[in-house]
Amino acid sequence: MDLKRTLNKWGELLGNPDWYSAVVSDIEDIRKEYNDKGEAEQNGVKNGIYDFFERHIRANDIALDEYPPDADAERKPIDTIVIHHTSNPPGMSRERLSAIELVRLYAPEFAAPKRAEDAGMKGRPIYSGHFREGRQVFWPYHWFVRGDGTVERLLEDDEIGWQAGSWDVNCRSAAICFDGNFENARPLDVELAAAARIIKEHYPQVAHERILGHREVNPKTTCPSNLFLSSAHHRGWKNDLLLLLK
């Protein structure tokens, strides 16, 4: 597979309402081809794809459904918090987050909807229904915690984020994402304090047992960290977060 040629082909398709059908199947092929390659090569092709979509998100030339149905009709009162990390280098822009999730979450779901009630999405232009300054964003999270402890609001609380790997949990949760790769690391104290502040200020109603790592909702992922949960040998940083809420 020649990535440059593939991206050129996608560039020609992006104006079509169902541009994502070809993209999703091409990415499936690329994934198979790179399955047994080294991490550097895998990251190279992944970043090439994300760069391409970030560029086109910024250029606003991807065909989307401009008059989408209400995507948040099933929103429920928030009784759960889900913690994530980006698993990418820190400093991710909002446009890149949007690009990544458009490709990673929305495109495959529209190409092959998992829920029977979403069958009508197949083949129609993609939408999130979440508009910012007239453009749709594909953020899965409600909050970003930056490395210096500043927090950024992404989705509003009445918007459903596609983040937990469970539609029920998506409908009733707010998602907080640490901006960085914490696969084998603990966020700094200032980052944990910022997350605790978000929970205290915005979600005092959530019981502490309902503050969950993504991996506790969806066992297929290690997000937000291999060090999130406690083990016999070490105290996980979930514990540190909960202590800050006391």
In the complex, the residues that contact Zn ion under the rule CB under 5 A are 84, 214, 223
Check: CB of residue 221 under 8 Å from CB of residue 212.
no
Nearest-approach distance from CB 161 to Zn ion, in angstroms: 10
Q: Which residues pair with 178 in a beta bridge?
A: 85, 145
Nearest-approach distance from CB 214 to Zn ion, in angstroms: 3
> Which CB sits closer to Zn ion, 68 or 165?
165
Nearest-approach distance from CB 242 to Zn ion, in angstroms: 18
Nearest-approach distance from CB 50 to Zn ion, in angstroms: 16
| Nearest-angstrom CA–CA distance, 127 and 168 | 20
> Which CB sits closer to Zn ion, 27 or 223?
223
Nearest-approach distance from CB 86 to Zn ion, in angstroms: 8
> Which CB sits closer to Zn ion, 6 or 170?
170
Find out whether the peptide bond into 224 is cis, omega within 30 degrees of 0.
Answer: yes
> Which CB sits closer to Zn ion, 21 or 181?
181
Q: Which residue in 182, 183, 95, 198 sits closest to 147, CA to CA?
A: 182
> Which CB sits closer to Zn ion, 169 or 194?
169
> Which CB sits closer to Zn ion, 84 or 142?
84
Nearest-approach distance from CB 217 to Zn ion, in angstroms: 9
205-208 contact pairs (CB < 8 A, 24+): 205/77, 205/78, 205/79, 206/78, 206/79, 206/80, 206/81, 207/79, 208/242, 208/245
